[in-house]
Structure 1
């Protein structure tokens, strides 16, 4: 009855650790005030951002960005903001957004980033649960006058004096200010009027406040994208946010001599764009080329005029750029850092081969990435994975029913420990979110291979269970995206009496593609096992696919829409 020593008999569990955080190169100051102070010291007179509007062009150096953030901080302190006070920032990507978020941190407060995509009921909910005491917003965003929206939500705004509020509906909200034209009744402060409140506030006091911020202090409150439910408030510490701002510079492999000029129109109120776009650019001494709202034609002109070399976009935006009427006319020869798989890398004026650190996995709860491979990692190393654990990170895969760690290679729920893990969900103690070992159960499905690489397979709730087999919609989506004529694809499971669910492909075709279900299915049958091939193919228009602000498709909405379409409709005929 001896102990078995045969290597084949040893169970390898699905748990893997990255290097210690202390071994991570390139980390600087681990607070937002410290980060901004450090990059200002390093890159002072280099351009930090440029914003073109109908009123003119704004360009700030790093020194000017620091001064604008100090200006906001002085005003916030004059308005009573102190340690842990929450300041809402409700704007598109613009210079004032960046000054407001960093200014809040310099004042010791917590920046609450709010989505301009929010409907009035959603905004009401966000303001109530976030408990902001000051709201800084942009008056006019696409299709909305936010001053009018806020005044409808609470007519008492500005009744006592401009920009003030005493409200039972929003009991913590005391002051509002906006970027944009003044209101006729002047019930809300303009940006200039707001900043004037801080002129008498001591600059030395702001500097001292910024220096007193600690890495463990609360820094930001971001909201998840709400693809399946109401957005969750995710409270993060300075340490976690700053680690990711520095880390992305290393993952992209950028240095000051690269002269990074990053264009993006994706909201900085999503943690991914904040860390990838703003963090990577500032950490490497580059310049942000801001576009407040995505418009493909304008974006291409902006990239050309500002000699952008690092464009960041979501897949649906790449498709729109490629379809823009000026696509073939613009000069994009400055672009150097665009993944070779994106349409912009195939533009006739773009040359060179570059691969982004796209083999990655992360969550808002960990302020983005926990696993990743650096840019230009060979494909034989990434192997289609979502990367390997980053410094300080531990990943395990558990059986979601029993909580037991599964064997290596088995599928289960991804759980992570990370130095960038959130302080808590808003209103929920952290011990009610983590398991007994301190891991965060992500709700995502995946597995670890023998080399410790993570393979993400989508939300556990999105896994399609059909006829006793499990189908990953991501695998089908990947195959669909390679099909000629397919612009956007999302696979969902629709309830079925005998099979449980049926695999259903929802496709937005490219303009003029003339796709037929049969040719799509024929294409997929060459690439997927028969049980993974969709039983139905449904065609949609762009506007019928509901996206969150971070370009995640709302799978619950799409599943419901697909179910309505399929009622009384026979299955798509399969070829072969």
Structure 2
């Protein structure tokens, strides 16, 4: 990261690096601001053994702080602003966060209060310099306005920057684990930046591009696909703390956006807004999402590659130029693997490679992959040949094109975020009045994926272990779910039954997934 910042300052000193809402900063400004803040953090004890957590919305402050930490060898731990108190506590523990910077309030949330809800007295105690037994690694807690002011000598900061190597850990990114618990994915400087660089050509991001990414920086799509893509390419990143259609359209017009990437459903919402027709987006190029492009620049269904990736690969690892149709016979594919990632299709049980054209589990190996997962042995993460079993099903054809077939487990994505039914089911079972809960995904009217839940209510007179009254219908369930889960995990389609026999099951006694989806689609609300 220190070397990358030096390159951008040398080549693109006066170019805007980041535009956020009404603020902007050049590459030189980003380098200078992060360098000054790094000196302050080092004086306060942040260094190569530090894992610094950030709970902040997108913006210049987020970028400056992240670069300040990583340029002196600290490990960045981006934390979602959507986390509920128990989720935040679990991730702090998993990553063994040593310093935490948390914005006091954002979108109605008070994060210091959330910390104290998770562990009474945690915020006050750590802010007073006293570790808490519930999170023993946490040494310091600051809001952005409370960051230390004293600076370490320049020679010390220089020495730390020179000591950073590509093999050093850069970031711990969280994604849901198969058991529903937090999974901290570790990426090194070299692996993450190589992964970003390998996908720039397919994503059509180069020097001078003005890239809009709505995704939060705490997700791979925002950090790798946005902030680090701009740094590696010499492009300008446009981002917002809280996107809202009318304001976003004005922002895109004012900033002459050339590439709109991110969530297809957000692009569709912008296109459906009354102000869209009068907004000048003529600077957009064909590699942008189709919904915001004029009809003449849109590709046919399946004609462009479905960029395919995951947190473990730090973004897309497979693709094809987004402004060019795939070859005949390859429509609907994900394109071909990027440099730095080897794709193997294997029998999911034996791990034995299968012939081209045969469906199996997608397994990955190469220098662009994660180094590992926090708290797990390498042997538990990679197979005997060093491949990472993704639990994704796919086909690799004779020409090396990858075709995604779905998940081998029951994970699904909602607006680009990972949802594991097991996690949501466990949260719903803790709700008073709930005997059982079964969660899956169903297609919404717009073709998007929605979280859906079948809840079996306790009979009248039967007490929940928590000893509290049942929630008042669907509204009560939603309220209870929101208190326990990030917003994107809260079911939007519900069906409440009183008879456990209403749950569709196979002869084996397992829940019939297909029948469950049909039932929720037909009778859920």
Normalising by the smaller structure, the TM-score range is 0.7 to 0.9
CA contact (8 A) 1:157 1:165 kept: no
Q: Which residue of 1 aligns with 2:348?
A: 400
* 1:364 and 2:311 aligned: yes
Q: Which residue of 1 aligns with 2:262?
A: 313
CA contact (8 A) 1:135 1:176 kept: yes
Aligned positions of 1:471-510 closer than 5 A: 506-509=443-446
CA radius of gyration, larger in: 1
Q: Which residue of 2 aligns with 1:255?
A: 206
Q: Which protein, 1 or 2, shows the higher relative CO under an 8 Å CA cutoff with sep ≥ 6?
A: 1
Q: CA deviation at 1:369?
A: 2.5
* 1:390 and 2:341 aligned: no
Q: CA deviation at 1:46?
A: 1.1
2:165 to 181, 201, 214: 214
Could you say if the C-alpha distance between residues 156 and 78 of structure 1 is closer, same or farther in structure 2, counting changes exceeding 3 Å? farther
Could you say if the C-alpha distance between residues 385 and 561 of structure 1 is closer, same or farther in structure 2, counting changes exceeding 3 Å? closer
SS of aligned partner of 1:72: helix
Could you say if the C-alpha distance between residues 146 and 569 of structure 1 is closer, same or farther in structure 2, counting changes exceeding 3 Å? closer
Q: Which residue of 2 aligns with 1:94?
A: 59
TM-score (norm 2): 0.76
Separation of aligned partners in 1, 2:340 and 2:271? 40
Of residues 243-252 and 550-559 in structure 1, the stretch that sits farther from structure 2 once superposed is: 550-559
Which digits, 9 at most, give the CA deviation of each residue in 1:504-530, with x for residues without a partner?
9532349xxxxxxxxxxxxxxxxxxxx
Q: CA deviation at 1:158?
A: 6.2
Q: Output the aligned Cα RMSD.
A: 3.7
CA contact (8 A) 2:126 2:138 kept: no
Q: Which residue of 1 aligns with 2:84?
A: 119
Which digits, 9 at most, give the CA deviation of each residue in 1:297-349, with x for residues without a partner?
2111111122212122312212221222322222222222543x6210137xx
Could you say if the C-alpha distance between residues 554 and 271 of structure 1 is closer, same or farther in structure 2, counting changes exceeding 3 Å? farther
**Structure 1 portions without partners, runs of 5+:** 1-31, 180-189, 464-472, 478-489, 493-502, 511-542, 572-576
Which digits, 9 at most, give the CA deviation of each residue in 1:250-296, with x for residues without a partner?
3333432xx32222221111113322222332233222222012211
* 1:374 and 2:374 aligned: no
Aligned positions of 1:33-182 closer than 5 A: 33-52=2-21, 57-157=22-122, 159=124, 162=127, 164-179=129-144
Q: CA deviation at 1:96?
A: 1.2
* 1:566 and 2:516 aligned: no
Q: Which residue of 2 aligns with 1:273?
A: 222
CA contact (8 A) 1:385 1:456 kept: yes
**Structure 2 portions without partners, runs of 5+:** 422-439, 448-477, 496-511
TM-score (norm 1): 0.70
May I ask how many residue pairs the two structures share in their alignment? 449
CA contact (8 A) 2:318 2:338 kept: yes
Could you say if the C-alpha distance between residues 38 and 456 of structure 1 is closer, same or farther in structure 2, counting changes exceeding 3 Å? same
Q: CA deviation at 1:399?
A: 1.2
Q: Which residue of 2 aligns with 1:496?
A: none
Q: CA deviation at 1:157?
A: 4.9
Q: CA deviation at 1:234?
A: 0.3
CA contact (8 A) 1:156 1:166 kept: no
SS of aligned partner of 2:276: coil
